[in-house]
Structure 1
Amino acid sequence: MIFARLWASLKPGNTNDGSTERLKHTPLEDAYAFAIGCSMIVLGIVLLKTVGLVTGGVAGIALLVSYLIPLPVGVLFMLINVPFFVFAYLGMGRVFMIKTIIVSMAIMGLAVLMPMAVHIDYVQPLFAAVFGGTIIGMGILSLARHGAGAGGTGVLSLYLQKKRGINAGQTQLIIDLIIMAASMFVIPGERLLYSVVSAAAMSLVMMSWHRPERYIGR
């Protein structure tokens, strides 16, 4: 939900103390961060999917739609992201858009491959909500610190803030509330409550562990 803060901290020229230039990540460091970030996002999605939950953002939309039509979550994640690539380009530039496309394709591929390596017979719903939301947040954090994103609603929120002056955090909150409201017609009440917990856990990762003033890499 606070994706705007993440992007603001990654803009070239930003510093942690107002005087020291941020250190630029190497391509190898970026690639490693993307691999870990995408893997964590997919593992979180697998946990939530196992117990029939949703979460916030584009991952939540993909999960929700997967309960309605027989398409893999990874494919839905990519398809839902396609129109947001335009906003990524208009709002954050060509490099960010390219990185976001690469990330989306990687998530789609991993979502197909991971069930072959990880088979979960049972997971307690509350554990899945907390742990699944947390590791999705960690994955997004890994991507954001290396100048990429998972795309989707976070990109739209940033675009509206840049072009229309609409607060990105408020926009993302409204979108997540809409996702939860739509979920009322698809998943039972108890699972809906767990889904809210998942979305909150994902956001708490960003709020607690992303402190731009303490981080000098970009």
Structure 2
Amino acid sequence: MAQLMSTLGFWNSTAARHTPVEDVQGIITGSLVAALGLYMLASAGLLTGSTAGVAFLLHYAFGINFGLAFFLLNLPFFYLSLKRLGLAFTLKTFIAIGLTALLSDLQTRFFTIAGMQPAWGALTGGLLLGYGLLALYRHRASLGGVGILGIWMQERFGIRAGLVQLVIDMGVLAVAFFVTTPQTVLYSVLGAVVLNLFVAINHRSDRYIAL
């Protein structure tokens, strides 16, 4: 019975290592919360950075399905993940990206947001996406793209993953000036700052070392 409880994660005797069931719940909940954050941003007509931001740009500019674009854009980053972060990280990240892409498309069948004020959408969307990413990072997964690069640079050079992502996100949002209005871009920058500062403050390898 004790062994079963430990396996399920209710009584994990190894504080520095997650059980498989703990990883499953972390990846599912992280993906769900991240999808909710993306929906908040989309409901306010905003964008974000990384591959999700590029997927938003393609969706707004050409009507391409967001979930499909998000999944396909992340595929090239799996090579870096596999070479630098290992097979386990890559597989969990692949699952997280697939789940987030799927949930982003499915969740509108269960509820809809009639309207969202842009500043509130930037704040809540950025925070929810940050919470989702934090859950995934702590279970050795990510949402691909810049997240993979950020995790690698934090582990290799000690540079905060959130700060790496923030710099690149600003570049993606700069391109958005050619696709949408300056007001939308400015609110999107607010969301990106909220997201990445949340991750930078809360995701530190010296505070949380479980694998």
Q: Same fold (TM over 0.5)?
A: yes
Give SS of 1:33's match: helix
Q: Is the 8 A contact 1:50 1:123 kept in 2?
A: yes
* Counterparts of residues 56-205 of structure 1 (less than 5 Å): 56-157=49-150, 172-205=165-198
Q: Is the 8 A contact 1:52 1:187 kept in 2?
A: no
1:159 and 1:212 map into 2 onto residues whose CA distance is 12
Residue 51 of structure 2 corresponds to residue 43 of structure 1: no
Q: Is the alpha carbon distance of 1:57 and 1:25 closer, same or farther for their aligned partners in structure 2, counting shifts above 3 Å?
A: same
- CA-atom RMSD in angstroms: 2.3
Residue 207 of structure 2 corresponds to residue 210 of structure 1: no
Report percent identity of matched pairs.
35
2:205 and 2:160 map into 1 onto residues whose CA distance is 17
Give SS of 2:53's match: helix
1:138 and 1:156 map into 2 onto residues whose CA distance is 19
Structure 2: gaps spanning 5 or more residues: 1-13
Q: Is the 8 A contact 1:87 1:159 kept in 2?
A: no
Bigger Cα displacement from structure 2, 137-146 vs 200-209:
200-209
Structure 1: gaps spanning 5 or more residues: 1-20
Q: Is the 8 A contact 1:44 1:133 kept in 2?
A: yes
Q: Is the alpha carbon distance of 1:208 and 1:29 closer, same or farther for their aligned partners in structure 2, counting shifts above 3 Å?
A: same
Q: How many residues were matched structurally?
A: 197
Q: How far apart are residue 161 of structure 1 and its match?
A: 8.1
Q: Is the alpha carbon distance of 1:146 and 1:153 closer, same or farther for their aligned partners in structure 2, counting shifts above 3 Å?
A: same
Match in the other structure for 1:16: none
1:115 and 1:186 map into 2 onto residues whose CA distance is 24
